[in-house]
Amino acid sequence: MSLKIFNTLTSQKEVFKPIAKNNVGMYVCGPTVYGDPHLGHARSSITFDIVYRYLIFLGYKVRYVRNITDVGHLEDEQNEIGEDKILKKARIEQLEPMEVAQHYTNVYRDAMRSLNIVTPSIEPNASGHIPEQIQTIQRIIENGLAYLVNDSVYFDVKAYVERYHYGELSGRVLDELQAASRNDLAGTSEKRFHADFALWKKAQPEHIMQWGSPWGKGFPGWHIECTAMSSKYLGIPFDIHGGGMDLKFPHHEAEICQSLGAFNKKPVNYWIHNNMITLNGQKMAKSKGNFITLNDLFIGNHSLLEKAFSPMVVRFYILQAHYGNTIDFSNSSLIAAESALSKMEQSFKKIDSITIETKTKSHDSLQHEISTTIQSCHEAMDDDFNTAKLIATLFEISKIINRLTESSNELTTSQQNVDKIASAIQNFWIEILGMKEEVQASNKLDEVMEAVLELRQQAKVKKNYVYSDFIREKLKNIGIQIHDTKDEKAKYTLKD
């Protein structure tokens, strides 16, 4: 089989054909770093970690770019009004905005490492690419698809639709947008049209995060960073663009507009969107206040949790569903995932207990079953990275191992079959699904860590975040992950 990907742009599965024969360029929208990462962040990161891992497994050289948004994301992202989310957090915490951004970037990266997510090839910050964003905006202006109002620059959607098709990714049409324009909110009146979006916003004097530009002091809009950074590192067009389903509109639709507006080219060939994790049927999001942080999950510090769940249980829980399907969170489903994971791991550890047939046999009854089951693993991943099917197939492999190691039936098989099973576990369980055995803490270490964490907490109370982060980084370097709790009593886990 060939790898098939569900392309959101065409709403169908397509055979994957990279632009360059053995190379793949992939860009994924990363976090806005103003708070602790939650389960929704984990789903997106795990989804594209799987895509990255499988492309590597297939032999491609992959340049994987995942951005960090540390400027330009306003409270009301749909209407582009309100305070910058990072500035608001900095004001509340009485910190420098970049101090907030750096802190939550560190927290995010620590959480991703706990989940065994491979570090992207490049992880650019929006604030570090202001010149590239300004250059891209200038190209859009030169092409007649943006206008200047009161030192702010807006993308001109009505001018755009005279040349290109609008809404091909999201399905939004101008008639709907025109109707929505009658419900404009205060602060958007300087736009010519409701669907126009900011490329550059004029900064008021009190706005700390601002840069010089040909249009005056300001800051970039939310959407332009991804066009500027993806084109810089991957060129136009590139192969795969990923992100959460909630980014299809307006963010990803705006990226298409900006790419055509600046380069007269569509940005990407394959759009992949992971679906949401919901809580009681509602999207889990910081803006809704109905989210569970990864730290909460790892230490069990949430009213909806009966206990703590390890990073690998969380990873396995997410991988049990196809990335395109919604996951509705519940404590019971996490417990079920934990039980299933434990059974799977226990069976895989039995592989060394399989009795090898020493005599030459003309036929091994298990050979065909093992080969077809392993082939089903390949087929599951080739079918739009279907981790749910893959896990179900790996359960079949675990059943084969259990049959071969049950003392009552005294079954044997060839070394070749054992090697095939071991290779399948290595390839699909460890390399592709990214599952690993987790280390448990010792009692003596608990006593030492209690003292260290008390010192760190004292530093945080005194707002000495440099020292508290120093302690966390030192511990991280020796394989100890710190998790802060709402009651200010930190906990820790060990990493491999």
- Reported as a single tens digit per residue, the pLDDT across 339-366 is 999 999 999 999 988 888 766 454 467 8
CA distance to 52, 62, 272, 431, 493, per residue, from 58 (Å) = 10, 11, 18, 12, 33
- 280 vs 250: CA distance, rounded Å: 25
- How many beta carbons lie within 10 A of that of residue 34, not counting itself? 21
Q: What are phi and psi of 9, to 5 degrees?
A: -65, -35
**For residue 182, what pLDDT is reported?**
42
When pLDDT is cut at 50, 70 and 90, the band that residue 109 belongs to is very high
Residue pair 368/381 in contact (Cβ under 8 Å)? The answer is: no
E-only strand ranges, 205-361: 218-220, 238-244, 268-274, 277-279, 282-283, 327-328
Residue 181: pLDDT band (50, 70, 90) is: very low
Residue 424 is predicted with a pLDDT of 97
* Res. 15: pLDDT tops 70: yes
Please tell me the predicted confidence (pLDDT) of residue 178. Answer: 57
pLDDT in tens, 413-472: 888 999 999 999 999 999 999 999 876 655 567 778 888 988 998 888 888 888 888 898
Beta bridge partners of 494: 480
Give the burial class of 55: count Cβ atoms within 10 A of its Cβ; 0-12 exposed, 13-18 middle, 19 or more buried: buried
Encoding tokens for residue 35? 């708070």
- pLDDT value of residue 184: 45
Q: In angstroms, rounded to a whole number, what is the distance separating the alpha carbons of residues 47 and 470?
A: 31
Model confidence over 27-86: pLDDT tens digits?
Answer: 999 998 988 999 999 999 999 999 999 999 999 999 999 999 988 677 666 666 677 888
Of the two residues 108 and 207, the one the predictor is more confident about is 108
Read off the pLDDT of each residue in 245-249 and give the average, rounded to a whole number: 94
Average pLDDT over residues 354-383: 84
DSSP strand pairing (146-149 vs 81-84): unpaired
| DSSP-derived pairing of the beta strands 198-202 and 218-220 | antiparallel
Q: Inform me whether the pLDDT recorded for 131 exceeds 60.
A: yes
Note whether 396 and 373 are within 8 A (CB): yes
State phi, psi for 12 to the nearest 5 degrees. Answer: -155, 160
pTM for this structure?
0.86
Q: Which residue has the higher pLDDT, 409 or 158?
A: 158
